[in-house]
Amino acid sequence: MLSLHKSPLSRASGKDKKTDSASPSPELSAYSFIIYVEAILLLVLGLSFLSNYLERYPLLSGTEHSLYTAAEQDGEERTFIKWVDFTVTSEAMTQAFRLDVDTCQSDIHLNWIELLAYLGARYGGDFTRYKASDLTALAEKLQEGASMEELTESMEYYDYYLEAYDAVLGGLTGVYSEEIPAEEAPPQSWLSSPEPPAPAESPAIQESAPQDTVWVTKYGLKAFSPIAKGFPYTDYDDFGSARSYGYKRRHLGHDMMGQVGTPIIAVESGTVEALGWNQYGGWRIGIRSFDKKRYYYYAHLRKNYPYQSNLSVGSTVRAGDVIGYLGRTGYSATENTNNIQQPHLHFGLQLIFDESQKEGNNEIWVSCYELVKFLRQNQCLTEKTPGTKEWHRVYETRDF
């Protein structure tokens, strides 16, 4: 314990007794200074943490204005979402998805995106708070006759989460037609279809499809993992990590480390909007969903043979198509350069609520780590195309 004391000189002379008794020692002054500095640092760190937390979960701070922006076009003002932090876990997505599929033929069909939006509004977007029992209880209320409108009436931000989560997940499930081996077909089911739907524009590989297959109509997950079935990869949650090539920036994608030449799969059906070289992403492909809400970015593709030969800007691809091959190109202004240390696919997902967000400072990129874990349950089976460097899907699917 520190105590104030007089110097030996003061005690001997008896002078300036009052002044000396009130003067701290050099040791105490230094200690007080350290305490002061530490207090300032703690205050700064606390404010920084609070700022980051409210930026990550602004709904908890009541700053609704930070979620939307307004723009004027042709004399009319339009409002759209400008910020999304997608933290929904794969466990929550899987549970909500199963509830949706299991009730697809019931009188009360549970919508998995509405279920997740309810939890998002309840948790303030923070799915570290997720409990399976919360989703189970919600499903029970709805199946007992309660409406989502009634249950969310007091949830100020439910509509925001519904629109945001629909932008991320809206094209991943639904009714689709799938080619399967004949021996796997259900004997009699409402899912069975004697003929496939009329084909849209499709790649030439359709001719090599097996002849002992049948087409069935299904309801469920029609999107695919970006990595083909049977090809290993490793990953971790790296969204937001620091990157320094060119300039300091946050990593706005998800890296999936694998083997050079691994077939890369179109997650969702859409239109090719970008194809070519980018000094950051190397050989890359950008595919826009048909509803225009999602832009999928596949980067660091294989040197010399990065893409499927039938692709060009404007091409239509179907979910499950092979679109390219994993590599390590990029980090160079010179085309076809391998400057990435470890072969991997950079997989990115951009949300677009307004075309002004497509390019520039207003882009919205979301974390794909949990989404990729969810999509792993639907990996596309591929096989090598004889005499080429390409692979193709074994079984076809078509959207309705």
Q: What is the pTM assigned to this prediction?
A: 0.80
* Residues 92 and 100 sit within 8 Å (Cβ to Cβ): no
Helix/strand/coil for 392: strand
Domains in the chain (CATH in brackets) are 90-169 (no CATH), 179-220 (no CATH), 242-399 (2.70.70.10)
Q: Shortest CA distance to 278 belongs to which of 325, 327, 335? A: 335
What is the C-alpha to C-alpha distance for residues 249 and 251, in angstroms, rounded to an integer? Answer: 7
Contacting residues for 348 by C-beta, under 8 A, at least 6 apart: 252, 253, 254, 296, 297, 298, 299, 365, 368
Contacting residues for 17 by C-beta, under 8 A, at least 6 apart: 6, 10
Q: What is the pLDDT of residue 14?
A: 40
* Residues 350 and 363 sit within 8 Å (Cβ to Cβ): yes
Helix/strand/coil for 160: helix
Give tens-digit pLDDT for 70-124.
776 666 788 999 999 999 999 999 999 999 999 999 999 999 999 999 999 999 9
* Residues 300 and 328 sit within 8 Å (Cβ to Cβ): yes
| Number of Cβ within a 10 Å radius of residue 161 | 27
Q: What is the pLDDT of residue 204?
A: 34
Amino acid at 27: E
Q: What is the pLDDT of residue 47?
A: 56
Q: What is the pLDDT of residue 327?
A: 98
Q: What is the pLDDT of residue 25?
A: 60
Going from the first residue of the chain to its last (400 residues), give the mean pLDDT of each consecutive group of 10, the final group possibly shorter.
37 39 55 68 58 48 66 76 96 98 97 98 97 98 97 97 98 96 74 45 40 91 98 94 84 96 98 97 98 98 97 98 98 97 97 94 95 98 97 94
Give tens-digit pLDDT for 157-171.
999 999 999 999 999
